Amino acid sequence: MPKYVYDFTEGNKDLKDLLGGKGANLAEMTNLGLPVPPGFTITTEACRHFLTEGRLPDGLEEEVSRHLSALEAKMGRRLGQADDPLLVSVRSGARFSMPGMMETVLNIGLNDESVHGLAKQSSGNERFAWDSYRRLIQMFGKTVQGIDGELFDDALEALKAGRDDLDLEAADFQRLVETYKGIVRDQTGEDFPADPHRQMRMAVEAVFRSWNAPRAILYRRQERIPADLGTAVNVCSMVFGNCGMDSGTGVAFTRDPGTGHQGVYGDYLQNAQGEDVVAGIRNTLSLQELERIDKPVYDELMQIMATLENHYRDLCDIEFTVERGKLWMLQTRVGKRTAGAAFRIAVQLAEQGMISMDEAVTRVTGDQLAQLMFPRFAGDADAKKIAKGMNASPGAAVGKAVFSSERAVELADRGENVILVRRETNPDDLAGMIAAQGVLTSRGGKTSHAAVVARGMGKTCVCGAEELEVSIQGRSFTAPGGVVVNEGDVISIDGSTGAVYLGEVPVVDSQVVEYFEGSGDHEDELVRAVDRVMRHADGMRRLEVRANADNAEDAARARRFGAQGIGLCRTEHMFLGDRRQLVEELILAETDAERERALEALRPLQQGDFVELFREMKGLPVTIRLLDPPLHEFLPDCTDLSVKVALAGDRAEEKDLKLLAAVKRLHEQNPMLGLRGVRLGLVIPGLFAMQVRAIAEAAKAVGGTRAEIMIPLVAAVQELENVRDEARAILAETGVEALVGTMIEVPRAALTAGQIAEAAEFFSFGTNDLTQMTWGFSRDDVEAAFFSRYLELGVFGVSPFESLDRDGVGRLVRLAAEEGRRTRPGIKLGICGEHGGDPDSIHFCHETGLDYVSCSPFRIPVARLEAGRAALVCADSDTR
Ligand code: ADP
Ligand code: MG
Ligand code: MG
């Protein structure tokens, strides 16, 4: 039988999986010789057993009894003993800290008899004894028996009748105990359990059960904490901060978790217990004030904090209690901190020689860096929050609400800031999204069109704000409480929290972006820290980082941000705008001559785009993907066109009739699985040849370029061979050197990568399509339809479009990489698409031995950092 119970003297900080964070660190502090009230921890394994089997594991109760007896012997008191009671707290504590998510019950062991024993223990302090007793019933009733906490709070408020809690006397609390017992009887039909052992057992089970409380589940999902870890339970002998003004309770940090500045920081409350400090029942005192009140306790606290920081080599937060002038440590952990503080602290500790620069890099994350790169609101104290959606793309945006892409462009051209508000966005909204400061949608998840595009552009986005009733026709939306926002009204959206505000909230720019842009203030402490971390990460990483960029402007930013090439230049954007006309002619062409004319008209335009791109990239590799999307995307909408033709009746233009016929002919049931990618190249004569020629001529014009021609959607080596031969002929004719390779984005391509590598000089994994086709998901349909249900059910912990699915899609990638290399040793392997900028996916790419990741320009610093962290092996998840 496994050991289910560990005395605080038996554990240590590395046993977090088994003892939870709180238990492991209580043990660590005990072993360091710090003053921790004795106790023991029941393991997470016991919790998992309880949750899956519905009962405590065999033998657990005896094991707990043995440890309790030992604790009683050490303390010289028995649990709940009438004349001299031992009291304990029963505290939750999981592997990852989930602040306030689960339950804790203090003062277990009190009943109508032992309350007198407690008073005697504290030299007749009746007030303290009855206060402790009423707290027990209140916490026990609420957390163990599931009684609405407000019933207790209301009774307390009624009793206080406006008095401060310090003015309450023993008799008041004694009356409150009777009231509370009445509440318990009313609500449960039973008396408050007087038996101390029963109290303890019920509390332990309640803590186990609290692992699956709705708010705990929600928190875990948000923080990506696995659902099956379970919580440990700590049984800890009570010390009392509520037995007079020489007692109290507090929380403290060894450094400022908000800014990372050195120097302790904390709050203290006299004559109080447990949660009172954070609950804000009275104004707290600062640690400086504690120094004035009780110098010896303050000095000891400072010494302990220094010990802890040296020992954990990181910022620690602590909970402590003072009982009549004696200091007790009740909790410590490596503390959470803001993104800016994380960078500053990591570099400070490295400069102090406490940790190495390698370790400093593993202690910050790409997500934290991303947060620092977005503008943020200076503070929302006065702002009126009207709704909350999903925090799809971080940042802070302020502007006039507009409800169409055209209107967004129109106002932006006049120099106004706008927020584009839509139910959901589609590719036609792109111009509006670019023109807007931010995007707000009432539908769609974190991987909806709006979210993906906004993240790619580094644009603030709040999506899926379902409380909003958006009326596109009415050019307005209604928020809960009947707040109506019309076109032109100013709103502010916070892409880091999902909050939507009425009116303007002040915004500040990111100094970190200015630094990457090359204009940052290097004296600034945060900028300096980011710079140190980035330089070290760059020195350590093996993965190259490239950018997804289609135009010179993006390419220029990508280079400033440190891109080592372009990993994906999509050519379809070059077919939009004024050129639609030419594309329509191409599609409508009835003869070879007509088609060639259209292609010849397009070629110089394409060539011009490539020239700009090559110039900007100055000899770095540029991977250009030949046309990928289905043709109908370049034609007008079928319904719109039908209406136009119908309205025109007999006078309909011949061109419109032809277009409508083409739209209908090209209509596909499943366009993502239809005529697109390499299939287009094979079906439309001259299309790919035109693109290759444009690339070759541009390369020749610029000189010294490293073009890589990439064929999309290949599933069979024969497809690739056809296009490659055509491309090679043109390259030979123009005398330009370029690699010809393929995307691996169809499962069959991954499965036959060994053959495909015969014809491909490089592979770039297109993991968006590969995910879509491996799961059989149509991304645009399934996310809104059922992903939230899938997340709830735990089918996946995070959308496979956000973070690469290692088990399925990842397996195909590994297989293709291996077989591709077997055929063609040294074949260049990369990844492009959303996953290229996702931290966990980047780690996967490192582990799989790819050569580069490619991501949107704005994500490049994040990818550089994560590639460095991956190389430094960052298995330690304590930085989460
Ligand atoms: P959380 O995980 O929500 O912080 P804790 O288990 O740490 O919950 O307990 C809540 C509060 O009760 C904390 O302020 C803690 O300091 C206090 N507390 C817990 N155990 C004891 C104890 N044995 N003696 C005195 N105070 C305690
Ligand atoms: Mg705590
Ligand atoms: Mg694709």
Atom 3 of ligand 1, nearest CA residue: 100
- pLDDT for residue 546 is more than 80: yes
Q: What integer is the mean pLDDT of 411-422?
A: 95
Nearest residue (CA) to ligand 1, atom 9? 104
What's the confidence (pLDDT) of residue 501?
A: 96
- Overall average pLDDT of the 671-691 stretch: 94
454 pLDDT band, cuts 50/70/90, is: confident
- Dihedral sign computed on CA atoms, order 181, 186, 187, 191: positive
Which candidate in 49, 67, 449, 632 is catalytic?
A: 449
Report the nearest-CA residue for atom 26 of ligand 1.
274
Q: Whose CA is nearest to atom 27 of ligand 1?
A: 274
What is the residue-wise DSSP string for 393-429? E-SEEEEEEE-SHHHHHHHHHTT--EEEEESS--GGG
Q: What confidence tens digit (pLDDT) does each residue in 764-798 have?
A: 999 999 999 999 998 878 887 888 888 878 898 88
- All residues at 6 or more sequence positions from 25 whose CB lies less than 8 Å from its CB, including other chains: 13, 331, 332, 333
Ligand 1 atom showing the smallest separation from residue 101 Cα: 3
Which ligand neighbours the alpha carbon of 673 most closely?
A: 3
Q: Ligand 1: residues whose CB is within 6 Å? A: 37, 89, 91, 100, 104, 106, 236-239, 274-275, 319, 321, 330-331
Strand, helix or coil for residue 8: coil
State the pLDDT confidence band at 518, using cuts at 50, 70 and 90: confident
Residue 224 pLDDT level (bands cut at 50, 70, 90): confident
Three-state SS for 725-739 is HHHHHHHHHHCCCEE
Residue with tokens 């950018």: 547
Dist. CA 85 → ligand 2 center (Å): 24
Tokens matching residue 274: 């447990």
The encoded tokens of residue 168 equal 């309450």
Ligand 3 centroid – CA 2 distance (Å): 51
Q: Which of 851, 854, 844, 852 is nearest to 826 (CA)?
A: 851
User: What separation in Å is there between the alpha carbon of 691 and the centre of ligand 2?
Assistant: 63
Residue having the nearest C-alpha atom to atom 23 of ligand 1: 238
Q: What distances in angstroms separate CA 255 from CA 100, 268, 305, 341, one per listed residue?
A: 22, 16, 10, 9
Q: Which residue out of 47, 243, 832, 845 is catalytically annotated?
A: 832
Proximal ligand: closest to the CA of 676: 3
Active site residue 573: no
Instruction: Return the bridge partners of 376, or none.
Output: 508
Choice among 345-349, 454-458, 688-692 with the minimum mean pLDDT: 454-458
Of 101, 242, 275, best ligand 1 pocket probe by most atoms within 8 Å of the beta carbon? 275
Q: What is the pLDDT of residue 878?
A: 39
Helix (H) or strand (E) holding 711: strand 706-711
Q: Do 287 and 320 touch, CB atoms closer than 8 A?
A: no
Asked if the model's pLDDT at residue 880 lies above 70, the reply is no
Looking at per-residue pLDDT, the higher value among 446 and 874 belongs to 446
Residue 442: what are its φ and ψ, rounded to 5°? -100, -5
Sequence-ordered list of residues with C-beta below 8 angstroms from that of 249, at least 6 positions apart, any chain = 241, 242, 268, 269, 272, 273, 274, 276, 277, 319, 320, 321, 322
pTM: 0.81
Q: Give the distance (Å) from ligand 2 centre to CA of residue 83.
A: 30
Catalytic: 49?
no
**For range 489-515, the mean pLDDT:** 91
pLDDT tens by residue, 238-297: 999 998 999 999 999 999 887 888 888 888 999 999 877 766 667 789 999 999 999 999
pLDDT band at 879 (very low <50, low <70, confident <90, very high): very low
Cα dihedral sign, 60-62-67-71: positive
Q: What is the mean pLDDT of the chain?
A: 92
Best residue among 19, 77, 89, 237 to mutate for probing ligand 1, ranked by most atoms within 8 Å of CB: 89
Give the other-Cβ count within 10 Å of 290's Cβ.
21
Closest ligand 1 atom to Cα of 237:
23
Q: Output the CA angle 435-440-443, nearest 5 degrees.
A: 130
* pLDDT > 60? residue 834: yes
Judged by its nearest atom, the ligand closest to the C-alpha of residue 317 is: 2
Note the ligand closest to the C-alpha atom of 572. 3
The residue ranges of DSSP E strands in 383-529, in sequence order, are 384-388, 390-393, 396-402, 418-422, 438-441, 460-463, 469-471, 476-479, 483-486, 490-494, 499-502, 507-508
φ, ψ of residue 77 in degrees (nearest 5): -145, 155
310 CA from centroid of ligand 1 (Å):
24
